[in-house]
Chains A and B, each alone.
Chain A
C-alpha cells in the first residue's frame, strides 16, 4: 500500500462515502524553516507570560472540571477538547523555560522542548475548537481564566505562521483593506446612503464634530445592513449629535481573534482616532461580541493610556436611554428567547442590558436553560465560524443550542451579536431548522414611538 492509502483509509460510517479525515491537519503561513517557526512561537509565547499568566499556569491541579463547562467536550465526549488541555503546549513552555524550577526541568529533561509538529497539532485545539467563550473560566475551582490564556497562546501561533488559513486571510484583509469582509470605506458609504433611503432617515458620515461615534461590524455592513438604518433611526429619534467616520467605522477586530497584536492595535487605534477626531464623548459599539471586548476592555491597553471617551455596547446604550425615558418603544406581542453573546455578557458584564430593553418591548421572553452568564456559546465566536474544516464540529456543538432553544418553545431567537446571528443562520440552513434569528437593535428601531 502506498503511504497515501495508509494515511487516508476509507470511511464508511458517513453518509458521504469518503476517506477518513486525517487526525491532524494544520495550515502554515509564511516561508520560514522549522527552526525559525519554532523560535518565533517560543519567543512570542514567552512574551505573553506576565504575573497573571504565570499564576494561572502554576495553579492548575488537573481536576478536569473545565471539560464539563466546554461545549466541545460536552457534545463530543472527546477529552482532547478539555479547555486546559488546549493550553498544554503553553504550560509545557512555561514550566520548562519560565517557571521557578525551570532549571531542573531543563537539566533533567523533565519537560521536553516544544516541537513545531506539536504546535501544528495544537492548531486545531487553539483555533477550531475554542471560541474563547470563557464558560470554563467560570467553573475552574482554581479561578484560572482559561479563555484569556487561549487568546495569549494564539499570539505565539500567529507569529510562527501556524494559524488556520481562512482566519489568517480575513485578518490580513482587515489589516490591508480596512475590513475582513470587504466593507471598505467606499462600500460602507454606499451602504450608508442605501440605508438612509431605505429607512427614510439621515445617516451621518464624517461629521466634523459629534457627541457620539457609532461603529458597525463588518458582518452587519455586508450581511445585515439594516443595522446601519436602525442605529441611525434611534439616534435621530433621540436628537443626538452623532456620526460614523470613514477613518474608523468598523469595530470588528480579526487581528485580536487571529492572535496578531499589531493588527489588533491597528484596528483599535482607527476607532480611537475617529472618536478623537470628532470629539466624541461616547463610542457606541455595534451588535458584535468580540468588538466589545476589543475596545471596551482591551482598547486602553492598545492606546497606552485611558480612553478619552466612554464605550458602550449598543444594548447598554439602548437600556440606558429606555430606562431614563428618553427613548420610547411600542409593546410587541411576540414570544422570543434570547441568546447572550459570550463576550458581551459572560466576559463583558452587560448581561442585564438586553433584558431591560426586552422588558420595555413587552416581549414574552422564554429564557434558555442555562442563560445569561452561563449561556452556551453559539460555537462561531473566536473566529471559528471562518474556519471551514471546523464546520462539522461547529454543527455538532450547535446541537446544544438547538436543544436549548427547542425547549423554550419560542420560534424567534434574539441576540445582540451579528457573529452569533451569522452562526445561527448558517446552522439553520445546514439543519433546515425553522427558527428565526433576529437582532434586538432592529426590533427596537421597528418599534420606536416617535413624537
Chain B
C-alpha cells in the first residue's frame, strides 16, 4: 500500500469515523443538558419563526455595526465563500464526493477554482496575522484557534501545491493533500470548526428568546 492508497483508504476511513462519532457525541451531549423553559408571557407568538429567521439574519451585521466590523467580516466571508467554492466547485472534489455518496453536480471552471483557492489562502494568511497582532484577538486566542487555522490552511495549501505540481511528485502531493484533509476531519468535532453546526443552535436560541420579547434580533 503506497501513501496515496493509505490516505484514500484506511486513513480516510478512520478520520471519517472519528468525525461522525465526535460530531454525534458533541451534539448529543448538548441535547442531554436540561433545557430552561421560558414561561414569561410572550409579547409575540412567532418565536419559532423568529428563531429560524435569526439563523439567516446573523449572516449579516446590523448596519449600526458594519463600519466597525467591516475588516473582519470581509475576511471571514472571503475565507468561507472561498472554501465553499473550492470544496464543492472543483471537479476532483465532486468526483471524490460522488465516490462516497453517489451525488454529483457540474463543476466550476478550473480558473475560478484557482482564483478562489488563492484568495482563500491569502485570507487565511491575513487572518492568522490579524489574530496574532490584533490586541483583542490575541487575548482571546488559544490552542483551538491556532490549531484550527493550521488544519484548515493545510488542505488549501497542499491542494494548491498539488494542482501546481510543486515540491514533489503529483501522487505524493495528492496523498499529503488528502492526509491533511483527514486531519481536518479528525479535528472538526473537537474544536471550533463545530461552529458550522453550533451557530445554528446558538442563533436559533437567541432569535427565539428575543422574538418572544418583541426585541431586536
State whether A73 touches B136 (Cβ < 8 A): yes
- Inter-chain CA distance A100–B202, complex, in Å, is 17
How many positions in chain B have a CB within 8 Å of any CB in the partner chain? 58
State whether B202 touches A54 (Cβ < 8 A): no
- Assuming the contacts A143-B203, A300-B39, asked whether A349 and B213 have C-beta atoms less than 8 A apart, the reply is yes
CB distance from A355 to the nearest CB of B (A): 14
Q: Which residues of the other chain, A, contact B217 by a CB distance below 8 angstroms?
A: 138
Q: Which of A55-63, A181-189, A327-335 contacts B (4 or more CB under 8 A)?
A: A55-63
Q: Which of B7-15, B68-76, B90-98, B152-160 contacts A (4 or more CB under 8 A)?
A: B68-76
- Inter-chain CA distance A139–B38, complex, in Å, is 23
Task: Flag whether B170 is at the interface (Cβ < 8 A).
Answer: no
Task: Flag whether A348 is at the interface (Cβ < 8 A).
Answer: yes
Q: Which residues of the other chain, B, contact A73 by a CB distance below 8 angstroms?
A: 136
Q: Which of A76-84, A213-221, A247-255 contacts B (4 or more CB under 8 A)?
A: A76-84
State whether B135 touches A79 (Cβ < 8 A): yes
Q: Which of B58-66, B102-110, B117-125, B173-181 contacts A (4 or more CB under 8 A)?
A: B58-66
- Inter-chain CA distance A298–B136, complex, in Å, is 33
| Cβ-defined partner of A143 (8 Å) among B54, B139, B215 | B54
State whether B41 touches A300 (Cβ < 8 A): yes
- Assuming the contacts A55-B205, A64-B137, asked whether A100 and B35 have C-beta atoms less than 8 A apart, the reply is no
State whether A79 touches B136 (Cβ < 8 A): yes
State whether B139 touches A80 (Cβ < 8 A): yes
- Inter-chain CA distance A77–B136, complex, in Å, is 9
State whether A370 touches B134 (Cβ < 8 A): no
State whether A374 touches B190 (Cβ < 8 A): no
State whether B34 touches A51 (Cβ < 8 A): yes
Q: Which residues of the other chain, A, contact B36 by a CB distance below 8 angstroms?
A: 50-52, 301
State whether A62 touches B216 (Cβ < 8 A): no
- Which of chain A's residues 264-294 have a Cβ closer than 8 Å to chain B? none
Task: Flag whether B115 is at the interface (Cβ < 8 A).
Answer: no
State whether A55 touches B26 (Cβ < 8 A): no
Q: Which residues of the other chain, A, contact B39 by a CB distance below 8 angstroms?
A: 300-301, 305-306
CB distance from A406 to the nearest CB of B (A): 19
| Cβ-defined partner of A139 (8 Å) among B25, B65, B141 | B65
- Assuming the contacts A138-B216, A299-B40, asked whether A52 and B205 have C-beta atoms less than 8 A apart, the reply is yes
State whether A50 touches B40 (Cβ < 8 A): no
State whether B68 touches A68 (Cβ < 8 A): yes
Q: How many A-B residue pairs have CB under 8 A?
A: 167
CB distance from A149 to the nearest CB of B (A): 11
Task: Flag whether B165 is at the interface (Cβ < 8 A).
Answer: no
- Assuming the contacts A69-B65, A305-B39, A349-B213, asked whether A62 and B192 have C-beta atoms less than 8 A apart, the reply is yes
Q: Which residues of the other chain, B, contact A347 by a CB distance below 8 angstroms?
A: 213, 215
Task: Flag whether B132 is at the interface (Cβ < 8 A).
Answer: no
Q: Which residues of the other chain, A, contact B16 by a CB distance below 8 angstroms?
A: none
Q: Which residues of the other chain, B, contact A416 by a CB distance below 8 angstroms?
A: none
Q: Which residues of the other chain, A, contact B206 by a CB distance below 8 angstroms?
A: 137, 143-145
Task: Flag whether B168 is at the interface (Cβ < 8 A).
Answer: no
| Cβ-defined partner of B139 (8 Å) among A61, A68, A82, A350 | A82
Q: Which residues of the other chain, A, contact B145 by a CB distance below 8 angstroms?
A: 62
- Inter-chain CA distance A348–B216, complex, in Å, is 9
State whether A51 touches B41 (Cβ < 8 A): no
How many positions in chain A have a CB within 8 Å of any CB in the partner chain? 61
- Inter-chain CA distance A344–B87, complex, in Å, is 45
CB distance from B138 to the nearest CB of A (A): 7
CB distance from A251 to the nearest CB of B (A): 16
CB-nearest residue of chain B to A299: B40
Q: Which residues of the other chain, A, contact B144 by a CB distance below 8 angstroms?
A: 62
- Inter-chain CA distance A427–B91, complex, in Å, is 64
Q: Which residues of the other chain, A, contact B136 by a CB distance below 8 angstroms?
A: 64, 67, 73, 79, 82, 85
- Which of chain B's residues 33-58 have a Cβ closer than 8 Å to chain A? 33-36, 38-41, 43, 54, 58
State whether B215 touches A374 (Cβ < 8 A): no
| Cβ-defined partner of B33 (8 Å) among A54, A85, A310, A373 | A54
Could you name 16 residue pairs across A and B whose Cβ atoms are closer than 8 Å? Answer: A51-B31, A51-B34, A52-B209, A59-B202, A62-B141, A69-B65, A79-B135, A82-B136, A99-B29, A137-B206, A142-B58, A143-B54, A143-B206, A300-B40, A310-B41, A349-B215
Binding site for B on A (CB under 8 A): 49-52, 54-56, 58-65, 67-69, 73-74, 77, 79-80, 82, 84-85, 98-101, 110, 137-145, 296-301, 305-307, 310-311, 345-351, 370, 373-374
6 more A-B residue pairs beyond the given contacts A55-B202, A141-B59, with a C-beta to C-beta distance below 8 A: A49-B33, A101-B190, A138-B216, A139-B61, A301-B40, A311-B41
Closest A-B pairs by Cβ, 6 of them: A349-B214, A143-B203, A100-B29, A349-B215, A373-B216, A59-B202
